[in-house]
């Protein structure tokens, strides 16, 4: 099951984890992730890196094909990457190319896509030029944004490319079938043109979107689902049951305020008051055993620095104060913020998706604010389908939105980059010069020095409440014992079904 609709299978235009997980099964890049985020060769058979770590040369396998029979070549990578950074494509994820030669200038419209530091040398050699070493570059290359695309398919399907299963060609272990662009069920079918099909054991994976945990658990019990996500109540009741599985996620649920469009949110004291009025420990208990209170934007367990979790290094006194429940201090800051903003009362709509967990989370925030801040705040919750919400948020058509972020790779920059000025995922348009400088400096540093700069940036973000973290979310599942061989990682694209099988 998935909890939300599929929005696209166009690798350049993906925004959500449902779509990323689908594309990771039907497409393949230079590398793939094994267990514990171990990078393994996929389309690359050999990698050489220059002494200054700024030139990467990949030798590609010669037996890889697209589902239409075309050979997968270095040109497919060049085409794909140029398409993603081209401002005309409007890729929300193009910022991840930052550090590849000329990428930032191309995304900003100052240079042509052809200037990107990637070139094909013959059919099976790909050379990538970086502006500075990127410590997590190998992990990036296993992320679907950097997968190849078939130019003839993109041109043939035009604006329909990636909007339904039939408007796409595939080079991964499976091909997509039956998704029309709006329906809530589809299939992944074994790709007979895949170069390593002998290791793909499953013939078909049937998917359905289930927004009600009780419905999904009933389907699981009726043997119509092999895996079902549990809600808080069910996860408490079923903890000792056979098949109960907790899947760790490098994920944070948080509030984003539309600071650019709604000036009432452009006040740090107001945002601090809102944050301190939320009892995160009570929230995590409401959502279930798999949720924990979040006091940083970067999730805990993502990486360690000198033997301690990054979030410990990144928790400053001010940030900790503003993410700790304190009703009296919350009121004090909130009323100070109202006065500074020149308003007597704050009324706003909190936008969320319509799955069970998101609705509970949004309603909890609503209750906490109205109870703990009194009559000077009024919150309306609006829960809508995932795809509709994405479009609303992208258009800036919201006051406050409940957002979730899953790290694209196991590094704090995957979180912190999102809140830099101009980043496409900074939907609220929060902006801070000191924060931007720290993130920019971290991209030229390495090792512990780099992590310290990122920790300083996290402290600025929390002190200003540029975003308000709520909970770190893991997922409780019931999974049939016969399902074996799934590769799961907490960061990046979580699932890889290439080696999955059903035990006899």
Q: What is the pLDDT of residues 442-461, one digit of tens each?
A: 998 989 999 999 999 999 99
pLDDT level of residue 107 (50, 70, 90 thresholds)? very high
Residue 371 pLDDT > 90: yes
Task: For residue range 222-265, list pLDDT tens digits in order.
Answer: 999 999 999 888 888 999 999 999 998 999 999 999 999 999 99
**What average pLDDT score do residues 353-382 get?**
96
What pLDDT, on a 0 to 100 scale, did the predictor assign at position 309? 92
Instruction: Enumerate domains of the chain plus CATH numbers.
Output: 17-205+478-502 (3.90.76.10), 251-473 (3.10.105.10)
What is the mean pLDDT of the segment spanning 90-116? 96
pLDDT score of 46: 98
In which band, very low, low, confident or very high, does the pLDDT at 473 lie, cut at 50, 70 and 90? confident
pLDDT tens string 277-335:
999 999 998 888 789 999 999 999 888 898 999 999 999 888 889 999 999 999 999 99
The confidence band for 410, taking pLDDT boundaries of 50, 70 and 90, is: confident
| 234 vs 267: CA distance, rounded Å | 40
Whole-angstrom distance, CA of residue 491 vs CA of residue 238: 26
Per-residue pLDDT, averaged over 150-173, amounts to 98
Q: Quote the pLDDT of residue 288.
A: 82
Please compute the mean of the pLDDT values over residues 488-499 and round it to a whole number.
Answer: 93
Which pLDDT value is given to residue 317?
87
The pair of three-digit structure tokens given for residue 267, joined into one six-digit string = 């006040």
Task: Identify which of 478, 495, 494, 500 has the alpha carbon closest to the alpha carbon of residue 223.
Answer: 478
Cα separation, 251 vs 225, whole angstroms: 25
| Per-residue pLDDT at 13 | 96
209 three-state secondary structure: strand
Q: Which of 150-159, 366-375, 403-412 has the lowest mean pLDDT?
A: 403-412
- Tell me the mean pLDDT in the region 43-60: 98
Hey, how many other C-beta atoms are within 10 angstroms of the C-beta on 301? 17
Q: What percent of the chain has pLDDT over 90?
A: 89
Classify 252 in phi/psi space as left (phi over 0), alpha (psi -120 to 50) or beta.
Answer: beta
Give the C-alpha distances (Å, rounded to integers) separating 443 from 37, 53, 115, 142, 436. Answer: 22, 14, 21, 20, 11
Nearest to 377 by CA among 386, 369, 389: 369
């Amino acid at each position: 099951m998935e909890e939300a609709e599929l929005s696209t299978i166009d690798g350049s235009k993906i925004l959500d984890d449902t779509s990323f997980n689908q594309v990771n099964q039907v497409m393949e890049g230079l590398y793939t992730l094994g267990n514990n985020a171990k990078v393994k060769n996929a389309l690359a058979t050999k990698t050489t890196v220059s002494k200054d770590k700024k030139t990467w040369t990949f030798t590609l396998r010669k037996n890889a094909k697209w589902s239409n029979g075309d050979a997968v070549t270095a040109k497919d990578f060049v085409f794909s990457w140029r398409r993603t950074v081209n401002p005309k494509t409007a890729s929300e994820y193009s910022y991840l190319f930052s550090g590849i030669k000329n990428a930032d200038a191309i995304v900003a419209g100052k240079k042509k896509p052809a200037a990107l530091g990637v070139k094909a040398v013959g059919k099976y050699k790909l050379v990538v030029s970086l502006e500075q070493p990127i410590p997590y570059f190998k992990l990036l290359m296993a992320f679907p944004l950097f997968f190849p695309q078939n130019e003839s398919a993109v041109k043939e399907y035009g604006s329909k490319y990636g909007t339904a299963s039939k408007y796409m060609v595939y080079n991964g272990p499976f091909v997509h079938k039956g998704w029309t662009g709006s329906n809530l069920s589809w299939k992944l079918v074994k790709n007979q043109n895949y170069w390593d099909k002998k290791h793909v054991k499953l013939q078909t994976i049937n998917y359905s979107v289930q927004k009600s945990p009780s419905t999904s658990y009933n389907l699981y019990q009726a043997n119509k689902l092999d895996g079902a996500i549990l809600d808080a109540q069910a996860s408490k009741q079923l903890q000792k049951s056979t098949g109960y599985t907790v899947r760790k996620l490098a994920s944070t649920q948080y509030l984003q305020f539309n600071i650019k469009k709604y000036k009432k949110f452009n006040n740090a004291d107001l945002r601090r008051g809102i944050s301190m009025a939320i009892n995160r420990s009570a929230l995590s208990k409401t959502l279930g055993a798999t949720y924990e209170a979040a006091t940083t934007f970067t999730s805990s367990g993502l990486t360690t620095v000198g033997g301690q979790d990054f979030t410990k290094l990144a928790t400053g006194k001010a940030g900790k104060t503003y993410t700790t429940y304190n009703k009296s201090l919350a009121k004090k800051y909130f009323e100070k913020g109202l006065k500074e903003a020149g308003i007597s009362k704050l009324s706003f709509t909190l936008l969320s998706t319509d799955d069970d967990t998101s609705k509970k989370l949004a309603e909890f925030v609503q209750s906490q604010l109205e109870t703990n801040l009194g009559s000077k705040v009024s919150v309306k919750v609006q829960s809508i389908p995932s795809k509709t919400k994405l479009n609303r948020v992208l258009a800036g058509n919201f006051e406050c939105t409940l957002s979730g972020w899953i790290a694209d790779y196991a590094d704090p920059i995957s979180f912190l980059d999102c809140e830099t000025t101009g980043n496409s995922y900074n939907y609220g348009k929060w902006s801070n010069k000191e924060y931007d400088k720290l993130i920019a400096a971290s991209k030229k540093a390495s090792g512990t020095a780099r992590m310290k700069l990122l920790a300083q940036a996290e402290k600025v973000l929390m002190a200003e409440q540029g975003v308000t973290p709520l909970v770190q979310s893991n997922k409780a599942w019931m999974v049939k014992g016969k399902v074996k061989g799934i590769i799961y990682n907490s960061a990046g694209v979580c699932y890889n079904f290439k080696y999955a099988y059903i035990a006899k």
